Structure 1
Amino acid sequence: MHLFYCDETNLEDRAGDFLIYGGLIVNGATAKEFSAEIDELRTRHDVPRDYLLKFNPGPEGFTHEQFIALKQEVLEVAARFGARLVVYVILHDIATNPDAARRNGINTVCYHFDCILNRLGGAGLVLIDRFNDEGNAIDAHLRDKFTVGITGLPYTPEIRLANICGFHYSAIGQSHFPSVLDVALGSLRLAINAHTRETTGLMTTANTLLSLLSPLFWRQNDDMRVPELGFQFSPKVIKAPKFRTKYQGLKDFLATAGIATHQEITDERMY
């Protein structure tokens, strides 16, 4: 059994920013040891028991350097236990609205998780960070993911996500794994925003974070590039040159930091 913890970041509808939706694959066979390692890490860093570990803010009384060291170790532990990131990004300028983009992100990463399970073997559980959207549409959306699957794909009306046994909610503090995901996605957000907003003072930090994240991305065989199953730019066809330039710039930026993505940025349908 593999667990798939999911969450979003950069939800604010801001021109030039990318909404990021991602999931963290945790191997159920080593989940107990992985969780115990985070327990030990918190104890060693004197993290208060009631502190909910997130990318920000840090524990009360921690210096900036102490908090950075804590988060770095969290990402290193995740890589050591074989946790893998699956990410979807879409430019807010293109997305219909943040809620719809988030639901599309859920569709994408869950479909990719199901495909990855075909390669790993075994079943999976999806655990979505709880949120309230307009009309509480997320409840029906997750029921649809379980009973129907994914609809509207190019070559089939629907695909049942047969490897996934359930879709449930999770929250930081109920397990260490949502915290690990929050640190990972928060790190990715900072790095991507430093690039898109041209915050030169953060570029050194951004590159350091991406180097820590690189081992976490899902890859196949000996190909060092991250396939679409691990990182997808949405939409796949980008007609407007100014937006295509934004996507290509992000792709190139990630590649320089060791996250070379397989998907091509194009204005033509490739599927």
Structure 2
Amino acid sequence: MHWFVTDETNNDSVSGTFFIYGGLVVTDAQLREIHTALEAIRSKYGYLPGDSLKFHTRSRPAQVSIPDSKAAKREVIEALERIGARLIIYVILHDIANSQTADTRQKWALNTVTYAYYRLLSEENAGGVFLMDRDDDQHTHLASLFQTGPQMADGRHIAVSDRIFLFGMTANNSSHLSSAVDIALGGFRYCVNTAGGDGAQVVAGEIFPPLARMLWGREVGGTKYIRDRGFHSMPKTEIKSYSYKRIYKNLFEKLNDYSGGDADTPEEGQP
């Protein structure tokens, strides 16, 4: 059984240039390992029961210093990579996404990552569970994803219930995996925002390499293909605005720099 736990960040253009949605895919065995690893990290750095271990430094409990908070987050990401957790990420420029309501924007993201997860499960001949961070406005859409599947750009629905057996919600502090998702997604957010000029380049260069390696992809001839697998840059249609194209180009170039320059090319035949 696989588990895909998701969340959103950069909910508005004040928080960052891009809206980001995504999460971690883990197996049953990896879920147990992550739980054990985070228990140890929490104990090591003085997090008490009920304390949140999240990416934002300001969310740390009073007894945990800033250096210890940063060290704990670094060790969480290192543990996730070591254990083999995989990332699926969706990004879209706020200036484009803002043409839709927040509800529609969320549904687009859910549709995209659901289908990506379904493809992963299909390739591995596995079944799984999909959990999103609590959002009371999305109960109906989660039911729709199970009953009829995500809607594609051409209006078709693709059934996924033969692989994804449960859609549901989780919440802060309801599992160590939720904490791990917040930290991984928060780290990715920091790097995306830094690419746009809001953050420290050196820090992004430290954070991003393990996250880049965690993105679900496919190795072909020594090249890891992640676009339309672990990394979904939207929209897929041609962007006509020169200024928007420049923003996306800068994002891709900066993330590639932060990752250490690993090559990535869309797979032939993929949208």
Q: 1:113 to 1:63 in 2, by over 3 A?
A: same
Distance in 1 between residues matched to 2:209 and 2:30, nearest whole Å: 24
Is contact 1:53–1:172 with CA below 8 Å preserved after alignment? no
Identify the residue that residue 203 of structure 1 maps to in structure 2: 201
Identify the residue that residue 35 of structure 1 maps to in structure 2: 35
Identify the residue that residue 255 of structure 1 maps to in structure 2: 256
Q: How far apart are residue 15 of structure 1 and its match?
A: 9.4
Identify the residue that residue 159 of structure 2 maps to in structure 1: 160
**Which residues in structure 2 correspond to 1:99-248 (within 5 Å)?**
99-132=103-136, 136=137, 138-154=138-154, 157-161=156-160, 162-196=162-196, 198-199=197-198, 202-221=200-219, 222-237=222-237, 238-248=239-249
Is contact 2:90–2:109 with CA below 8 Å preserved after alignment? yes
Q: How far apart are residue 30 of structure 1 and its match?
A: 3.0
- Secondary structure at the aligned position of 2:105 is classed as helix
Identify the residue that residue 92 of structure 2 maps to in structure 1: 90
Q: How far apart are residue 62 of structure 1 and its match?
A: 2.1
Q: Identical aligned pairs, as a percentage?
A: 32
- Secondary structure at the aligned position of 2:157 is classed as strand
Distance in 1 between residues matched to 2:263 and 2:70, nearest whole Å: 25
State the AA in 2 paired with 1:186: G
In structure 2, runs of 5+ residues without a counterpart are: none
- Secondary structure at the aligned position of 1:127 is classed as strand
State the AA in 1 paired with 2:247: K
Is contact 2:91–2:234 with CA below 8 Å preserved after alignment? yes
In the TM superposition, what whole-angstrom CA distance separates every residue of 1:145-169 from its partner, at most 9, and x where no partner exists? Answer: 0000022344x82210131001011
Identify the residue that residue 267 of structure 1 maps to in structure 2: none
TM-score (norm 2): 0.89
The CA RMSD measured in Å over matched residues stands at: 2.0
State the AA in 2 paired with 1:86: I
Q: How far apart are residue 173 of structure 1 and its match?
A: 1.0
Identify the residue that residue 82 of structure 2 maps to in structure 1: 80
Q: How far apart are residue 80 of structure 1 and its match?
A: 1.2
In structure 1, runs of 5+ residues without a counterpart are: 265-269
Is contact 1:88–1:109 with CA below 8 Å preserved after alignment? yes
Q: How far apart are residue 16 of structure 1 and its match?
A: 6.8
Q: Which moved more, 1:82-91 or 1:212-221?
A: 212-221
Q: How far apart are residue 99 of structure 1 and its match?
A: 2.8
Q: 1:85 to 1:207 in 2, by over 3 A?
A: same
Q: 1:242 to 1:15 in 2, by over 3 A?
A: farther
Distance in 2 between residues matched to 1:172 and 1:263, nearest whole Å: 35
State the AA in 1 paired with 2:76: V
Distance in 2 between residues matched to 1:16 and 1:231, nearest whole Å: 18
Q: 1:31 to 1:152 in 2, by over 3 A?
A: closer
Q: How far apart are residue 66 of structure 1 and its match?
A: 1.0
State the AA in 1 paired with 2:109: G
Distance in 2 between residues matched to 1:15 and 1:169, nearest whole Å: 24
Q: Which moved more, 1:40-49 or 1:69-78?
A: 40-49
State the AA in 2 paired with 1:146: F
Q: 1:54 to 1:3 in 2, by over 3 A?
A: same
Distance in 2 between residues matched to 1:93 and 1:177, nearest whole Å: 32
Distance in 2 between residues matched to 1:242 and 1:263, nearest whole Å: 22
